[in-house]
Each structure stands twice: as structure tokens, then as C-alpha cells.
Amino acid sequence: MGILIEVRFHGRGGQGAVTAADLLAVAGFKDGYYTLSFPMFGAEKRGTPVVSFLRVSDEPIVIRDEVKNPDYVVVMDPSLIDVVDVLAGIKENGMLIVNYPKGADELREKLNTDVKVYTINATKMATEILGRPITNTAMVGALVGATEIIRIESVEEAIMEFFENKEIAEKNVQLVRKAYEYMKEVCG
Amino acid sequence: MRKVVRGFYAIAEAVRLSRPNVIAAYPITPQTEIVENLAEMYANGELGDTEYVTAESEFGAASMVLGASAAGARAFTATSSQGLLLMTEVLYNAAGMRLPIVLVVANRSVSAPLSIWNDIQDSISIRDAGIIQLYVESNQEAHDMIPLAFKVAENRDVLLPFMVCVDGFKLTHAYEPVDLLDQETVDKFLPPYEPVVKLDIEKPAALGCYAPPPYYMEFRVAMEMAMERAREVMLKEFEEWYRLTGRDWGGYVVAENCEDAEVVVVAMGSIVALIREVVKQMRKEGKKVGMLKIRTYRPFPHEEVRKALKNAQKVVVIDRALSIGAEPPLAADVKSALFGLSPEFHSVVMGLGGRDIPREQIEKLINDVLEGKAKPGKRFEGLYEFEEVIP
Amino acid sequence: MSLFGPGHGACPGCGFPIAVRGALEALDGKVIAVNSTGCLEIVSSMYGRNTWGVPYIHSLFENAGAVAAGIETALRALKRDKEAHVVVFAGDGATFDIGIGTLSGMMDRNHNVIYICYDNEAYQNTGNQQSMATPTGAATTTTPAGKVIPGKMGRKKDMISIAVAHGIPYVASASIAFPKDFQRKVKRAAEFEGAKYIQVHAPCVTGWGIDGKLTVEVARLAVETGLYPLVEYENGKLVRVRKIKDRKPVEEYLKLQRRFRHLFKHPKGKEIIEELQRVADENARRYGLDA
Amino acid sequence: MSKMKLYIGASNPAKTSQMKTGDWGTEWAYVDEEKCIACGQCVTFCPEPAVELVEKGGKKVAVVDHDYCKGCWVCYTVCPVEAIRMETKDIYKL
């Protein structure tokens, strides 16, 4: 196999962790990759910690086991840091991207890790643009900004296809772009 | 006390003597008379403290028995054919909940086409549920195995449902002498039920939890372990039964004339008695034939089967059920027990939907195999020539 | 130890825990709980995370009525029937649809069981598929609001009448918006020997498309519009109803919920709203709801 | 890893109180003890339950247990004297 990038998303039921992975699967496909996204199936209710996965490769993806050693971990809700082992199995040169208002330094110290940690206040961004603290598209933008695994234009196209309501779609495009730009700047 | 009775009465009487707390009933041919007999006993006040309740369906009857068992009761029901299939979801559930309910299956073919007559397709179809399955060859054996079923199921090393499989009509409706047990004997053998867990206001616990991936597999493997332990428990109880009543039904299998046999016939249920007679006769004629009766289909007696068949040059397995698209069920299990040995293997399906199996047919079958006239492999005996017409 | 929760996994603002706890408290925790498969079961009975402070059993989706009947029979046989009330908690899918057979059997044999149906008007555990308790016009995932068909067609099944027709001693409807009334009904039910059926309206925040902020308000409006009449039958006779002062138009109830949102723009929406208003009016007439 | 204990036929007695579901929401309910009249409406309606009436300084008041409060607003909506306010958790504050 050539390239294989594996991502794990942590969110809470109702926040769109599954949609985030799905969006990237479509966007990656637009870029010419083979992609696979899937949730960890369960009986999740609104608010329960949930997990979803994404694989991106330049070859057909046939493996369907849970991602145990992710390249990137995306955490969509700051409170999950205290209840879930978000770093579990992350690759040594992996990256953790968290919706966390208090900044990366504090989080790095809290987690006591050498893994690259980036933060973004996605709750704030989402509330300002969408009027609601739904952070999944912002975190997709953050991941793409930090890693450039997929073109942001493809993500924007995918969003336009995902949301039936055009107004909501456009706001999400705006949000994903803002998070993307922010993260690009942070990561240099 | 020896009495001429119908099979269903012998079964009902053994149930009464086992002092169940709850009986849930729903009629279906040919099981109906079992619950009718129990109903009569109930109406006449002969069931002591037992509560008898009629259900709205077999599904309801099985569910009531499940609930009763969970509440700490010894519980019984009986069914056949479609009724058993309708109970299936509940029975899988009861086994997973480790509830030691006992049921009698008056074996009957399944629909379509509709047939009320005997084969064992019904109970065979739920062999994977985690339920002990014991097939009897006579009404005496059926009568005897009911207290034993309760005792084995309720053993804390087992805690699995127990199904006594009795050929419908052939046994249930046969009128013949049976040595009926007395209460003292049964009481001596079968102690009152002490549930391990029950719905108890003093000790609240949750029964029937749901298990996510980190737990589920362990629960299912635990059932497998319990089924393994049931082997030992059952052997001990078979022996105790013999000591108590003087009736020896054997272990998981009964092997007769197998040591030096060239041909051994393997079967389950009432047909075993006929095969035994034929084998005896042929032995007198100097033919080296033997028979192997399988008593417990689950747990399946792999080692005993292998031991009994290790010298046989030719093995004939008689199935009265199909696994459409694969080998017949008993043949498949016997073959797996023989892995590595390679006797000539004959898988014979006969007697589906009550088709009679005459003595001559068994004789011819064994003779043909003995004389090398029959081609090994799978075949159907007693089948009429027919042409399928798809209009 | 509390009788139910805390720490269960229901969505924030979920309606049925209010009813479950209310019923358990009304009966002083002297309860053996029987639960059909559904939301309540999933949020409360994960292995090792049991939420119940009372003995509890879950078997299948469609057999709670029969399992409860079996338990009740066993308790009688074992002379333990004074120990506790056997109480079923089942959703509307388990009650109106797949489990109506075993429920009917339980009611027909008149087992001494209190059957509580928490009615959230669809299969909410699996994500809002229509049940026979789903009201006309509601959008569910199996009756979506499409360009041609505006949500569920057909009426909500009248389970209350079905229960009454079984000739059981006590039947009532209730709402989580009126917990004291519900608790009184549970206590009243416990005074009767035989089968009792109580149906309690319990909003589902995700399926109905409301916030927890609206759980109680929406449940109250269902009653105050006449769409969910609170009635009480004893030995087949209607003995009490909750009277409504200034009954509100059904729109007030509908407009708060995402599942009815399409009715206000769909070409056939007006017709459906009128139909729902007729249902409310008919309830008012039939039960004498208007104060 | 230590051996898993598998209770055959039954789950343990009530265990969920170990599940601190108070981390689910973005807000928590707080009680203004001055205004609280200890009517118990919030206790009755709380779906968790995460509210109880507690004796404090010679008077009964409602107390919210943030270990279990999912921030659903139900208590807020049923309080007859507006003694409950909802506050965004620090970590979600903008």
C-alpha cells in the first residue's frame, strides 16, 4: 500500500462526529483518493461520547477494523479531554487537534505528551457563524488546515452537497474556511 | 407402577411429579394432549401449588415461562413444529439469560407444505440456541427424562434450558405400558429449585442486560462452557437415575454391537428401537452390523461417537431432517466427530413429514451397504419418483 | 440508592425518565420492573451499568406483557405475590405494534400487572421510525415529509379504547407534564386486582425535534389542545378526565416541533392540521374535555 | 488486564451512579437559594435525577448535583419562581 492516513474523531452524540468523517470521505474522493469513513456503532444518545473514523489512501481500502493507531485525532468537544483517552494509540509523529478554548500549551501540559497538539476555539467560531455551537465543520477545517491531507476546496464542495438548506451550507463553508485559515496560520 | 397409558399422559404425569411452579400452555398438534392432560390435572386440583396458564400463542407461552423462571419458579412448557419456531426468539433469549426452563417438543415437520406428521426438523432447527437437546426412543424414556431434565438444567454448573424431544404421534399418541414414577422417587431425585439469581425485591439485580462489544462474546462463550460442564453433570445424573429406578438409559450414546461391526447405523429418536431389532436379527444371521443411538444432540457427544465408530468400515447415518443446501444435520455432526478417520460414509434421509419407515426398508438399507450395493454419499430413502413442475 | 438513576444514558431533557421515576416512587419502590427493548432499556441496562434500584428484567421487544404475566404467575405460585407490584415499562412501538399480542394476552387473562406504556410516538431508540402511535402528519424516517406525502398518513391507534375493550379494571392516560396526576394514577392502578394499563405521553427531544427546554411545555400543550386527553377508566367506566380551560388550537402544539414543521409549508399541510384539529375536537366531545 | 467478572444471568445492582453523566452538556443548572421556595418541582421533573432538596441554613433548598446534571433546562422551565439559572460551563465559555 502507498499512502494510508488514518483519523479518529471524538465527539458527543448530536455534534456531528460521523458527518465530519463522512464529509472528508467525500472530499478526499473528489481529490482522487480512495476513502472510507465509519462510525463506531452503538446506541448513542445526545451527549454521549462517540467515535468515528476516516481512512484516506491512494489505493482501494479494504480493511474495516477500528482505527487503533491514528495519524491524527480530532476532538470536537473540549470536555472530552477529561473523560476519554484521546491520545490512545496515536502514532509517535501523529497530531492531536482539539476544540479547546484555553490554548495548546495548557492542553499539552495537561495531557503530558510529546505528540503535536493544536487547539482551536471551534465552539466560539461556530457560535459566531452558525449561531449554534455545532463544531463538526469547524473541526474538519482545522484538520485540513493543519494537515492539508485534502484540498479545502473539495471540502467546501462536499459541504455544499451535504446540506440541503443552501443558507446553512454557505454558513458552514464560511466556517470551515475560517477554521482552515486559522489552523494554517497556527501551524505555519 | 406399570400402566397402559398414552405417551402424552406419561409425559404430563412426569411433569406433574416434577412439581413445576408454573406451566404455560398453548395447543398445537401433536403436542396438544400433553397440555390438555396437565390442564385436567390442574382442574382437578392434582397439580398442588402449580399454576397453569394458557397463553395467546407459543411465543407468549415461552415468554411466560421465561418470566416465571426469572422470578425463581420451576417452569415448563411444551410445543411442536411451527410453535417451536414461533418460540425460537424467546428460547434463544432464555438460554442467553441462563434460565433453566424445561420444554418437551413433540417432534413434527415444519411447513410448507403443511404437515402435522413426524420428523425432527423443528427441534433440529434450533440446535444452536444453547439448549440441551435429548432425543428419546420410547415413552418410558420420555417419562424418565423429564425429572432429569429439570435437575440437569437447574444445576448451577449448567443453567441452560433443556429440551426433551419426543417423536410426535409415533410416541406421543402411542398407547402402551409405561412404568410410571411415584412422587417419592421423583422427590428423592429432584430437589426443590434454588435459583442462582431471581427477581427479588430484597436483592435487586438486572436480568437481561445488553452487552456492548467488550462483553457480549464472553457471555456467549460462557454458554459454551456451561454446555461442556453439562456433559459431566448429565452423566452423573444418568447414573443416579439408574441407581434409583433400575432403568439404564445409557450415556450420551448407546452403542450396541459396534466393536466388531462392519456396518454401524447411527440414528436418534424412536426409529432407534426399530434399528435395534433389525440389527439383533442380522447378528443372529451372522452379519457384522451394529447401531449407535445418539441421545444428546446438544451437547453433541463427539468423543463417544468417535469411540463407537472407530472400528466401523461403513457408517450409515439416518437423518429425519434436512439442512437444505448442505449435509443433513446429524450426518454433518457425525462426520465432524470422525475427522481423520475415513469409513465409507452413507448419509440417508428418510421419514420426512411422517413418511413411514418400514422394517424391510431398514433391513434392505443395511444389507445393501453391507454387500456393497449402495453407493456411499447422501441419498433419500422411501422417496417416490417425482418431477418438479414449475408452471 | 435511588430507584432509577442518576447516571442513565437518556438524552438531556428526555421525557420518559420523569415517568419511570414517578411510577417507582409512587409505588415506594415495591416494584419488579419488566422492560421491553427500546430507549429505556438501552439507556438503563447496559451490563455493569444497571440504572435500576429495583429488580429488573428485559427479555425481548415484543414480549413484556407475557414476561410480566409469567412473573406474576410465578409470584402467586411461590406465594410471594405480596412482595412487589409487577410493572411493565414499554414504549409505544412495543405496545401498540409488535407487542400488542402478548399485551392482549396479559390483559385478557387479567394478570395482576401494571402495564405502563411510555408513549413517545415513534420508534425513538432506533431513530424515529413511525409506530402506530405516531400522530397524523408527523414526519418520521419511515414516513418522511416528502414532496407528495406530508409525513404519516392514518391516525394514531386508540390503545386506550383497546385496553378498555379488554375489560380490565383500570385504564388511564397521563402525561409527564402532570407528574402528580400520573403518580396518582399509578397509585390508583395499584389498588385494583388484575391488569392495569396506563399510557403516559413522554416527549422525545431528538425524534420530535425539540430542546429539553420544551419537553414539559410540549407535553402540556398536547393535553391543552385536546390531542392527548387525560382520561381514567375504572371497571370499564370513564370516571375522570382532566378538563381543559380555553382549549388551545393544535397549531400551538405543532409549531414547536420539527416533526410537524413541514405542515406549515407543505401544500397538503393545512389539510393535515385541520384533520388534527378535528381529532382534538372529537376528543373534546367524546370525553367532555372542555371546562 | 485483570480478569473480567461475568455475572451469569444478571447485571450488578444499580451501578450507573458511577457514570458521571454531568459532563454531557455544555451548561449546568444553578439554584438561587434566596429565591428557592423548596416547592420540589425541579426534583419531580429532573429526568436524571440530579436535583434534591437539602436543608441549608435552617431552610430547605434545591441543590443540583453537577456530577449528573446534563444541562437540559427542564428544571429551569418548571421552576415557578425563576430561582434556577443555566450557566455555560467554563470550558465552553467564549
**Tens of pLDDT, residue by residue, chain D (94 residues):** 678 888 887 877 677 778 899 999 999 999 999 999 999 999 999 999 999 999 998 999 999 999 999 999 999 999 999 999 999 998 888 7
Is the CB of residue B318 less than 8 Å from the CB of residue B283?
no
Judging contacts by C-beta atoms under 8 Å, the chain D residues touching residue A101 are 91-94
- Cβ of residue C10 closer than 8 Å to a chain A Cβ: yes
What percent of chain C stands above pLDDT 90?
98
- D16 min Cα distance to partner chain B (Å): 12
CA angle (D57, D61, D67) in 5-degree steps: 110
Block residue for cell numbers 474522493: A29
Q: How far is CA B255 from CA B87, B260, B286, B367, in A?
A: 33, 12, 18, 19
pLDDT at residue number A43: 63
Alpha carbons B128 and B163: distance in angstroms, whole number? 13
**A42-85 tens-digit pLDDT:** 766 788 889 999 999 999 999 999 999 999 999 999 999 998 99
- Asked whether this complex has an ipTM greater than 0.95, the answer is no
Cell of C158: 386508540
Give the angle subtended at the CA of C108 by the CAs of C107 and C109, to the nearest 5°. 95
Strand partners, C85: C31
- Interface contact flag, D10 B159, Cβ < 8 Å: no
| Residues of chain B that touch chain C, judged by Cβ-Cβ distance less than 8 Å | 21-22, 24, 49-51, 53-57, 59-61, 63-73, 75, 89-90, 93, 97, 199-201, 203-212, 215, 219
Q: Which residues of C touch B54 (CB under 8 A)?
A: 109
The mean pLDDT of C237-248, rounded to a whole number, is 98
What is the per-residue pLDDT across A77-119, written as a single tens digit (0 to 9) for each?
A: 999 999 899 999 999 999 999 999 989 999 999 999 999 999 9
DSSP 3-state of B367:
helix
Residue A23 pLDDT more than 90? yes
Chain D residues in contact with C205 (beta carbon < 8 A):
72
Q: Which residue of D has its CA nearest to C202?
A: D47
Task: Kindly state the DSSP code that residue B270 receives in the 8-state scheme.
Answer: T
- Using alpha carbons, select from C233, C198, C187 the residue that is nearest to residue C31: C187
What grid cell was written down for A119?
487547539
Q: How far is A152 from chain D (nearest CA, A)?
A: 26
Residue C261 at interface with chain A, using a CB cutoff of 8 Å: no
pLDDT range class, residue C67, cuts 50, 70, 90: very high
Mutual angle of helices B271-284 and B359-370, in 10-degree steps: 50
Architecture of the D27-92 domain = 2-Layer Sandwich (3.30)
**Residue D61 backbone class (left: φ over 0; alpha: ψ -120 to 50; beta: rest):** beta
pLDDT, one tens digit per residue, over C123-161 is 999 999 999 999 999 999 999 999 999 999 999 999 999
Number of domains in chain A: 1
C-alpha grid cell for residue B7? 405417551
Residue type, C242: R
Residues of C within 8 A of D14 (CB-CB) are 1-2, 50-53
Does the pLDDT value for residue C199 go beyond 70? Answer: yes
Chain A partners (3+ C-beta pairs within 8 A): C, D
Average pLDDT over residues C229-240: 98
In chain C the domains, ranked by start, together with CATH numbers, are: 15-287 (3.40.50.970)
User: How high is the pLDDT of residue D91?
Assistant: 86
- For residue C48, list chain D residues with Cβ-Cβ distance below 8 A: 11-12, 15
**C-alpha cell read off for D8:** 451469569
The DSSP code sequence of chain A is ---EEEEEEEEETTS-HHHHHHHHHHHHHHTT-EEEEEE--S---TTSEEEEEEEEESS-----S--SS-SEEEE--GGGGGTS-TTTT--TT-EEEEE-TT-HHHHHHHHT--SEEEEE-HHHHHHHHHSS---HHHHHHHHHHHH-SS-HHHHHHHHHHH-SSHHHHHHHHHHHHHHHHHHHHHH-
Inter-chain CB proximity A12 and D24 less than 8 Å: yes
The span from the CA of C240 to the CA of C181, in Å, is 11
Q: Which residues of C touch B22 (CB under 8 A)?
A: 70, 73-74, 77
* C to D CB pairs, distance under 8 Å: 108
Give the largest CA-CA distance in chain B: 69
Q: C-alpha grid cell for residue A124?
A: 466560539
State mean pLDDT over C164-174.
Answer: 98
| Nearest CB to D24; choose among A47, A82, A124 | A47
Nearest CA in chain B to D12: B205
Indicate the residue of A47, A78, A82 with minimum beta-carbon distance to D92.
A78
Low-confidence ranges of chain B (pLDDT < 50): none
pTM: 0.94
The residue extents of the domains of chain B are 2-245, 254-380
Residue C1's pLDDT band (boundaries 50, 70, 90)?
A: low
Q: Say which DSSP state B252 is in.
A: S
Q: Is the pLDDT confidence value at C77 over 90?
A: yes
Question: Got the DSSP string for C176-227?
Answer: TT-HHHHHHHHHHHHTSSS-EEEEEE---HHHHT--GGGHHHHHHHHHHTTS
Distance CA C235, CA C167 (A): 7
Reduced to 3 states (helix: H, G, I; strand: E, B; else coil), residue B168 is coil
According to CATH, what is the number of the domain B254-380?
Answer: 3.40.50.920
User: What would the CATH number be for the domain defined by B2-245?
Assistant: 3.40.50.970
Structural domain containing residue A59: 4-187
Query: Is C5 in CB contact (< 8 Å) with chain B?
Result: no
Q: Which residues of B touch C166 (CB under 8 A)?
A: none
Q: Is B112 exposed, middle or buried (0-12, 13-18, 19+ CB in 10 A)?
A: exposed
State residue A46's pLDDT score. 82
C residues 38-57 lying closer than 8 A (beta carbon) to B:
41-42, 45-48, 50, 52-57
pLDDT of residue C160: 98
Provide the residue ranges of all domains of chain D, joining segments of one domain with +.
27-92
